[in-house]
Amino acid sequence: MPTLFEPLTLGALALPNRIIMAPLTRGRATKAAVPTAIMGEYYAQRAGAGLIISEATGISREGLGWPFAPGLWNNEQVEGWKPAVAAVHDAGGRIVAQLWHMGRLVHHNVSGMAAVSASATRGPNKAHTYDGKQVLPEAHAATADDIAHILGDYAAAARNAIAAGFDGVQIHSANGYLIDQFLRDGTNLRDDGYGGPIANRLRFMREVVEAVASEVGIARTGIRLSPIGESQGANDSDNAALFTAAAKELEALDVPWIELREPGPHSTFRAADEPAVSPAMRRAYSGRIVLNSDYVGATAEAKLAEGVADAISFGRTFIANPDLVARIRSGAPLNEANPATFYSAGPEGYTDYPLRTEQEAA
């Protein structure tokens, strides 16, 4: 069985190790969703990862409802990403862009626009906005024209990601955002070709994959799913059947890698008390599977040995440990992440977590 320190191929991407940085929203872009210089510093510090998956990045103004999150729908944003991506490459790393449409979880305070979803529903939680937390309004059900323009936005954002220098893209189909809203029968109440039976609910995801792959090639296209539990109000009456079918669909589409956020019942990030679907997805899908949530070095190695995962992605540990790969290799202790600075501004809790070598020298 491979270890975390063996190389891995994800389609067109050649990773020197299997320790992946999970996508992490950090809110350090401008209000116009343009990446800032400090983002390049932050990502370059973490270039030891086998692969960096960028923070979720809006494909359109309509789809981006997170304050100070970045986008990839215009030239200014592409130009803003270029030095950040180049900094990762200069430091010897690889980075893909996570493409994001938040669907019904967008508040107009941030987007300036009405929210769209699979059906006319409302997200359960209050949204982060520029004026504090606010109740989400009901989204409108996507029309055929909406779906066509959203697919066009995915394609354009994927094209822009490559123009900015990214090594590929990851489609964000997890965590209760737009694609997840189409997948699950708790949020998809449609009675047309995009709703009802599982095969129909998979259609929007499939069309997004096709739209993205038509721009960047399937070898540079990955996808993230959260197959168990409820995510920000998106739930399904049969997650196991839905996500096993999704794995089959992604196999048919030749998608080279899938990342799964599959927390356990005691997870400290959105726990889910439901059996893992990843073993069934493994049987239905021959590409690479990246597993996520709550892993540390020892549990990550054990998971690889089980044979379900080809790599592990680390979220909060990568926030707090820019040199996570070196720390896992040497068994060094880990810094604790500080949740108070997850979405704050500036360098504090962002680029100032110490390296192990600095701690030893101190």
Ligand X SMILES: Cc1cc2nc3c(=O)[nH]c(=O)nc-3n(C[C@H](O)[C@H](O)[C@H](O)COP(=O)(O)O)c2cc1C
Active site residues: 177
In sign, the C-alpha dihedral spanning 338, 342, 345, 351 is positive
CB of 248 to ligand X, least distance (A): 22
Q: For ligand X, which residue of 68, 182, 204, 314 counts as binding (CB under 6 A)?
A: 314
Considering only residues 4, 19, 20, 23, which one is a binding residue for ligand X as defined by CB under 6 A?
A: 23
Subset of residues 92 to 111 that bind ligand X, contact rule: CB under 6 A: 98
CB atoms within 10 A of CB 74: 16
Q: Which of 292, 304, 325, 356 binds ligand X (CB under 6 A)?
A: 292
From the CB of 55, what's the least distance to ligand X, in Å? 5
- φ/ψ of 247, rounded to 5, equals -60, -40
CB 265 within 8 A of CB 299: no
Specify the stretch interacting with ligand X by CB under 6 A; choose among 75-83, 118-126, 209-217, 292-300: 292-300
**First-residue to last-residue Cα distance in the chain:** 38
Stretch that binds ligand X, among 130-138, 203-211, 215-223, 287-295 (CB under 6 A): 287-295
Q: Tell which positions 143-172 bind ligand X, by CB under 6 A.
A: 172
SS3 content of the chain, % helix, strand, coil (to 5): 35, 15, 45
SS3 track for 308-351: CCCEEEECHHHHHCCCHHHHHHHCCCCCCCCHHHCCCCCCCCCC
What is the DSSP secondary structure assignment for residue 23, as one 8-state letter?
Answer: P
**Binds ligand X by CB under 6 A, chosen from 315, 322, 324, 335:** 315
Q: How far is the CB of 267 from ligand X (least distance, A)?
A: 7
Q: Which DSSP helix (H) or strand (E) runs through 279?
A: helix 278-284
- According to DSSP, residue 70 is labeled -
Nearer of residues 141 and 172 to ligand X, judged by Cβ = 172
Which residue of this chain has its Cβ atom nearest to ligand X in the complex? 315
Structure tokens at 253: 């589409």
Spatial separation of the C-alpha atoms in residues 9 and 267, rounded to whole Å? 29
Binding mask 58-87 for ligand X (x = CB under 6 A): ------------------------------
Min dist CB 52 to ligand X, Å, is 12
Provide the Cα torsion 335, 336, 340, 343; round to 10°.
60
Note whether 327 binds ligand X by CB under 6 A: no
Q: What is the DSSP letter of 204?
A: H
234 makes contact with ligand X (CB under 6 A): no
Q: Does 42 bind ligand X (CB under 6 A)?
A: no
Smallest gap, in angstroms, from Cβ of residue 98 to ligand X?
A: 6
Q: CB under 8 Å to 239, separation ≥6 — which residues?
A: 227, 228, 229, 274, 277
Classify the C-alpha dihedral 2-14-316-273 as positive or negative: negative
Q: Using CB under 6 A, which of 8, 24, 115, 234 touches ligand X?
A: 24
CB 180 within 8 A of CB 121: no
Q: Does 335 bind ligand X (CB under 6 A)?
A: no
Q: Residue 14 Cβ, how far from ligand X at the closest point, in Å?
A: 23
Instruction: Report the residue from 13, 33, 49, 56 that binds ligand X according to the rule CB under 6 A.
Output: 56
Among positions 15, 18, 25, 49, the unique one binding ligand X when judged by CB under 6 A? 25
Q: Which of residues 248-267 bind ligand X (CB under 6 A)?
A: 261
Asked whether 228 and 139 are in contact (CB, 8 A), the reply is: no
Residue choice 219, 342, 351, 355 for contact with ligand X (CB under 6 A): 342
67 half-sphere exposure, CB direction, 13 A CA radius: 13
Using the rule CB under 6 A, which residue among 269, 275, 305, 330 binds ligand X? 269
231 interacts with ligand X by CB under 6 A: no
Could you list the residues that contact ligand X (CB under 6 A)?
A: 22-25, 55-56, 98, 172, 174-175, 224, 261, 269, 292-295, 314-317, 342
